[in-house]
Amino acid sequence: MKEDRLPSKEEVEAARRLVGYEDLEVDEEKGILFLKRRGMELALGGIAKGYAVDQAFRFLRDLGFRDFIINAGGDLRTGGTKFDAPWVVGIQDPRDRSKIIARMRIEESAIATSGDYERYFVKDGVRYHHILNPVTGFPARSCRSVTVLCNELIWADALATAVFVLGPARGISLVETLPETEALIVDRNGRFVLSTGMEGRVSFE
């Protein structure tokens, strides 16, 4: 969506019809991906940063580094500890960039946040952001931000976006089924929703 206009319902519907992982074919022998329908595109924005950071993490470990943190625009992966104590990461207030709403203690972890506050515009009092619900074709509305903690940043990136679209109830239900994965959600009303294992890791401002 361009900032100066909203797409028509017809444009949204045309784009929505081109969504679906079922139309992606993988030829593992040749290392080739196929998209079945004309007009489809494959975007890796939701995982590319995480993949790059994970590769950097492995490179540093292979060089012998133990304690470090890699920050890629707010998405993080940590190795070891900070002076024998956990790393402390701040979670930004999705409605005030100058404020931290929570702090999280992590070791040997990856953490990613998806929110409606980095890439958005407001038109007629409605916030339009870049995290789209593939069912409706319009921005997902149930959350302000979702922070996911797990072992690799590629998965934290992907899950933060997925949970944002699913919404607090379904999103937390998904996270609770995944091993070594936790989430902190700020819902559309500014309330916190935490997965079971997140309690004790996070302190609120």
pLDDT in tens, 173-197: 999 999 999 999 999 999 999 999 9
Q: Are residues 34 and 55 in the same domain?
A: no
Do the beta carbons of residue 133 and residue 170 sit within 8 Å?
no
Three-class secondary structure of residue 36 per DSSP: coil
Q: Is 145 exposed, middle or buried (0-12, 13-18, 19+ CB in 10 A)?
A: buried
Q: How confident is the model at residue 74 (pLDDT cuts 50, 70, 90)?
A: confident
Domain count, the chain: 2
For residue 192, give both structure tokens.
């916190």
Same domain, 27 and 74: no
- How does pLDDT run across 115-133, given as a tens digit for each residue? 999 889 999 899 999 999 9
Read off the pTM.
Answer: 0.92
Statement to judge: residues 106 and 176 lie in one domain: yes
- Is 80 exceeded by the pLDDT of residue 44? yes
Report whether 129 contacts 95 (CB < 8 A).
Answer: no
Shared domain check, 107 and 11: no
Claim to verify: residue 13 and residue 56 sit in the same structural domain: no
Q: Please state, in angstroms and rounded to a whole number, the distance separating the CA atoms of residues 68 and 65.
A: 7
For residues 96 and 119, membership in a common domain is answered with: yes
Residue 142, domain CATH: 3.10.520.10
The residue type found at 137 is G
Q: Is residue 37 domain-shared with residue 112, that is, in the same domain? A: no
Residues 4 and 75 in one domain: no
> Is residue 34 located within the same domain as residue 47?
no
CB-side exposure of 128: number of CA atoms within 13 Å? 14
Instruction: Answer whether residue 103 shows pLDDT above 90.
Output: yes
For the chain, how many residues are written? 205
pLDDT at 38 over 50: yes
Query: Residue 1's pLDDT is what?
Result: 44
Domain extent, residue 6, equals 1-42
For residues 189 and 134, state if they share a domain. Answer: yes
At 5 the pLDDT is: 78
102 and 200 both lie in a single domain: yes
Is it the case that residue 4 has pLDDT exceeding 80?
no
Distance CA 148, CA 10 (A): 34
Across the range 99-123, mean pLDDT stands at 94
Same domain assignment for residues 113 and 61: yes
